[in-house]
Amino acid sequence: MTAYILRRLLATLPVMAVVAVFVFFLLRIAPGDPAAIIAGEDATREAIEAVRAKLGLDRPILEQFALWLWRLAQGDLGVSIFSNLPVTRLIGQRLEPTVALTLSTLLVAVALAIPIGVVAAWQVRKLADRLVMIFAVLGFAVPGFLAAYVLIYIFAVQLQWLPVQGYRPIAEGLWPFVEGLILPSVALGVTYMALIARITRASMLEVLSQDYIRTANSKGLATRRVLLLHALKNAAVPIVTVIGIGIALLISGVVITETVFNIPGLGRLTVDAVLKRDYPIVQGLILVFAAVKVLVNLVIDISYAFLDPRIRY
C-alpha cells in the first residue's frame, strides 16, 4: 500500500513540471503587451520600453523562465503588475469565497446525484428512471450561465427568497453565508449532478446484473441492503472517478459563476487578470488550479486501493 501511494506521489511531479512550462511560455507567446497596457494608449515607444525594462520583460525569455522558476521554488508566485501586491496575498484574499462555493457545490451535487442515480438503476425503464435521464440530458444541454440567470430571475427577482448576488463571509453569520451560496451552488452544480447521476446509474445497472446480486435477492435480503452494501460498494470505483473528473468542471465553472453572481473569489480574479494581461496573477492562479486538480486525482487514485483491494496489487 505504501509503495502504491509513493508511486502516485512521484507521478504528480512531472505533471506539475509540464504545467509550469506550458503556463509560462503560453502567456509569453500570446498576443498583447502588458507594458503597453500599463503605459496607456497614448504612451510613446520609449515609455513602453521603460515599463518593459522595469518589469523585466525585455530580458531573454529563457532568463525570465529561469528567474520565475527560482522564485517559484521559494514559494514566491511573483508580484501583480497592476496592484503591485504579492500574488500569494491576492490569492489568499480571494480564497475563502471560492473554497466555500466549491465545497458547497460538491456536497450538494454528490449528496443528491448518487441517490437519484441509484434509484434510477433500481427503477430502470420506469418513471423515476426516465425523469433522471431527462434531468441528465438537460443538465448537460443547458449552459451554466443560463441556468444561473434563470435561477436569479425566479428565486431572487420574482420570489425574492434569496439575494441576487454577492458573498457574505461566515464570520457575519451562518445563515447570510449559506443564503448567498444557495443559488451559485445550484447553478454551478447542475452539470456536475447530471454527470454523477448518469454514471451512477450506468455503473449500478452493470453491478445489479451480476450473479451475486441475484443471489442476495434470492436470500430475501432487504432491498436497501442489497443496493447500498452489495451493489453501490462494488460500483463505487467509476463513481469516484467521475467525481474526481468533475472537479475540473467545478474549477472552470467557478470563473463564470463568480462573474454572474458577483462573488469576489478566484474566478473573478482570473477574469480581471486575463483582461489586464497581468502575467504573475494568471500564472499563479493556473498553477494553483492545476495543483488542486492533481491533488484531487491523487486522492482519487489512493481511494481506489481502499475501494477495490485488487488495485493495490
pLDDT bucket at 62, cuts 50 / 70 / 90: confident
- Give the pLDDT confidence score for residue 1 in this predicted structure: 65
pLDDT bucket at 30, cuts 50 / 70 / 90: low
Average pLDDT in the 113-119 region?
88
- Give the pLDDT confidence score for residue 40 in this predicted structure: 67
**Residue ranges of the domains in the chain?**
93-307
Q: Is the pLDDT of residue 313 over 60?
A: no
Q: How far is CA 175 from CA 66, 168, 171, in A?
A: 48, 9, 11
Query: According to CATH, what is the number of the domain 93-307?
Result: 1.10.3720.10
pLDDT bucket at 38, cuts 50 / 70 / 90: low
Q: Is the pLDDT of residue 131 over 60?
A: yes
Of 11, 14, 177, which is closest to residue 99 (Cα–Cα)?
177
In the numeric block, the cell 448576488 is attached to 165
Instruction: Indicate the SS3 state at residue 255.
Output: helix
- Give the pLDDT confidence score for residue 158 in this predicted structure: 86
What span, in angstroms and rounded, lies between the C-alpha atoms of 266 and 272? 10
What span, in angstroms and rounded, lies between the C-alpha atoms of 93 and 38? 23
